[in-house]
C-alpha cells in the first residue's frame, strides 16, 4: 500500500506504508488513513526525524566497525536517513512557507 504526503505549499511524495509508518511513529503521529502535520507541529517533526536519522547513523557506523570481518557485501543497505530524506525535504519546504502536510492512504496502516 502507498501513502501520499501532500504539502499545502510545495508538492507531494509517495512511499510504501511500512516506511511511512516508521517515519510517522518517529514524529509521534498515528498511522491512520488520513492525517496532518500542522504548521505548529512542523519544527518538532523535523527535529525528531533529524535526531532519529543521526542516531541511526551512529548505530550503523558502530555495527559496520563490529562486523568488519573482511566479508564482501553485495549491496549497501538503505538507511533510515535515506528513507526519511524525501519527507524531511517536504517538511522543510513546507515550514519555510508556513504550510501544513497531509497524508492519505487507502486504509489505516
Q: Are 9 and 101 within 8 A, CB to CB?
A: no
Locate the DSSP E strands across 17-90: 34-37
What stretch of H or E contains 15? strand 11-16
How many independent structural domains does the chain possess?
Answer: 1
Asked whether residue 73 is assigned to any structural domain, the reply reads no
C-alpha cell at position 100: 501544513
Asked whether residue 68 is assigned to any structural domain, the reply reads no
Asked whether residue 32 is assigned to any structural domain, the reply reads yes
pLDDT of residue 2: 98
Asked whether residue 67 is assigned to any structural domain, the reply reads no
Asked whether residue 54 is assigned to any structural domain, the reply reads yes
pLDDT of residue 58: 58
pLDDT tens-digit profile, the chain (109 residues): 999 999 999 899 999 999 999 999 999 999 999 999 999 999 999 999 999 999 776 555 555 545 555 555 567 788 999 999 999 999 999 999 999 999 999 999 9
CA pair distance 61, 71, nearest whole angstrom: 16
Amino acid at each position: 500500500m502507498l501513502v501520499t504526503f501532500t504539502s499545502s505549499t510545495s508538492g507531494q511524495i509517495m512511499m510504501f506504508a511500512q516506511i511511512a509508518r516508521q517515519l510517522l511513529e518517529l514524529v509521534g503521529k498515528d498511522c491512520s488513513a488520513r492525517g496532518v502535520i500542522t504548521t505548529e507541529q512542523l519544527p518538532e517533526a523535523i527535529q525528531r526525524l533529524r535526531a532519529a536519522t543521526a542516531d541511526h547513523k551512529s548505530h550503523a557506523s558502530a555495527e559496520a566497525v563490529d562486523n568488519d570481518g573482511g566479508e564482501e557485501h553485495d549491496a549497501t543497505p538503505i538507511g533510515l536517513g535515506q528513507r526519511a530524506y524525501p519527507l524531511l525535504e517536504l517538511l522543510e519546504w513546507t515550514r519555510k512557507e508556513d504550510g501544513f502536510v497531509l497524508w492519505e492512504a487507502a486504509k489505516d496502516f
